[in-house]
Amino acid sequence: MSNQYLDPNLKVFSLNSNRPLAEEIAKVIGVELGKCSVTRFSDGEIQINIDESIRGCDVYIIQSTSSPVNEHLMELLIMIDALKRASAATINIVIPYYGYARQDRKARAREPITAKLAANLIETAGATRVITLDLHAPQIQGFFDIPIDHLMGVPILADYFEEKGLEDIVIVSPDHGGVTRARKMAERLKAPIAIIDKRRPKPNVAEVMNIVGHVEGRTAILIDDIIDTAGTITLAANALIENGAKAVYACCTHPVLSGPAIERINNSSIEELVVTNSILLAEEKKGNKIVERSVAPLIGEAIIRVHEDQSVSTLFI
């Protein structure tokens, strides 16, 4: 390895959610992935063995809690416990995609706040720090009583469109909740913003109602944190075309892409969907319209700075 990291006390491990990303991150840092095995007993219970000494080491676990969410969350909790009992000095959890983040408040009576429960589980298991990317609700940072570094995917997505050299662009938020994200993208690309006012009559169904801002004759770039069933983003794209946009691109940090998402995207007016590799995409979800950008350089740099007690604040913008 040409750029080998010299401190042997920095250890990086990967569980099962996104090993290709973990391998990229390890390469950025200049370390080999730590040796561990994740297996199942015949009844489905998870067993983890750490196959090297980590006593006194600063350990970083790469694990998105993406689908299957509960399997990956349990793997993470069991790994934390194993590291704690093996006397790791620090246990740093790198969660590129934080599952359950959309359950961040009580929207109706007698509902749980599962994002807080997941934070409690991670902290109680023994984690000493969390590094994550584009939380659906930024206030989830306050659910933890341990340090949390909240990185942003906007610079990675913006760099792609800068390289593409599109003209007469407008950045569009698909709902009012994403305006801050859209504004950051607009500042990076020196473009105006527009907002889509939508009504969601029931879960996973969105209805586009109105566009606030000027999109006629412009190339629209929709930006969101998560694209799940792609109902919101594809309806938004169609509404933009109907209101005179000459082309529509879309981007997001976390490509959940469940259910009919791929079919909807392929049949929509979206030219390209630019995503990051925070979630491992199955081959059948990779189509001509999907463009993937890596978050490994961002996360790798964050890990190095945390390990060396340097500031990570410049990575937040």
Sequence-separated (6 or more) residues with CB below 8 Å from residue 132: 94, 95, 96, 98, 148, 149, 150, 151
CA distance 238 to 264: 11
83 and 109 both lie in a single domain:
yes
What's the structural domain count of the chain?
A: 2
User: Is residue 51 a part of any domain in this protein?
Assistant: yes
User: Is residue 1 a part of any domain in this protein?
Assistant: no
The mean pLDDT value for 19-45 works out to 97
Give the length of the chain. Answer: 317
43 labeled binding residue: yes
pLDDT of residue 307: 98
134 labeled binding residue: no
Residue type, 48: I
Of 151, 186, 211, the one marking the end of a domain is 151
CA dihedral (62, 64, 67, 72) in degrees, to 10, reads 50
23 and 139 both lie in a single domain:
yes
45 labeled binding residue: yes
Measured at the CA of 84, the angle between CA 151 and CA 296, to 5 degrees, comes to 25
142 and 158 both lie in a single domain:
no
- Convert the pLDDT of each residue in 2-14 to its tens digit: 578 989 999 999 9
178 and 195 both lie in a single domain:
yes
159 and 137 both lie in a single domain:
no
Which domain covers residue 202, as residue numbers? Answer: 154-293
| Beta pairing, strands 270-276 & 290-293 | parallel
128 and 210 both lie in a single domain:
no
105 and 167 both lie in a single domain:
no
Measured at the CA of 140, the angle between CA 94 and CA 80, to 5 degrees, comes to 35
Tell which residue, 153, 149, 102, has the closest CA to residue 130: 149
51 labeled binding residue: no
- Helices 296-307, 19-29: inter-axial angle, 10-degree rounding: 50
Catalytic residue among 35, 164, 190, 198: 198
pLDDT above 50 (res 194):
yes
Q: Considering the chain, what is the average pLDDT of its residues?
A: 94
pLDDT of residue 210: 85
Active site residue 35: no
Of 151, 181, 203, the one marking the end of a domain is 151
| 16 contacts 46 by C-beta, under 8 angstroms | no
Q: Which CATH number covers residue 244?
A: 3.40.50.2020
For residue 7, the tally of other CB atoms under 10 A from its CB is: 13
110 labeled binding residue: no
175 labeled binding residue: yes
User: Is residue 16 a part of any domain in this protein?
Assistant: yes
| 54 contacts 34 by C-beta, under 8 angstroms | yes
Q: In what order do the strands lie in the sheet with 90-95?
A: 10-14, 58-62, 90-95, 129-133, 148-151
- Proportion of the chain above pLDDT 70, given as a percent: 95
pLDDT class of 89 with cuts at 50, 70, 90? very high
103 labeled binding residue: yes
pLDDT of residue 57: 98
CA dihedral (252, 258, 264, 269) in degrees, to 10, reads 0
Written as six digits, the tokens of 194 are 């527009």
pLDDT above 80 (res 224):
yes
pLDDT class of 288 with cuts at 50, 70, 90? confident
User: Is residue 300 a part of any domain in this protein?
Assistant: no
For residue 10, the tally of other CB atoms under 10 A from its CB is: 20
233 and 118 both lie in a single domain:
no
pLDDT of residue 208: 47
- Convert the pLDDT of each residue in 148-174 to its tens digit: 999 999 999 999 999 999 999 999 999
- H/E stretch holding 231 reads helix 231-242
Beta bridge partner(s), residue 247: 219
309 labeled binding residue: no
pLDDT above 60 (res 280):
yes
The mean pLDDT value for 246-266 works out to 97
- Convert the pLDDT of each residue in 96-132 to its tens digit: 999 999 999 998 999 999 999 999 999 999 999 999 9
pLDDT above 50 (res 286):
yes
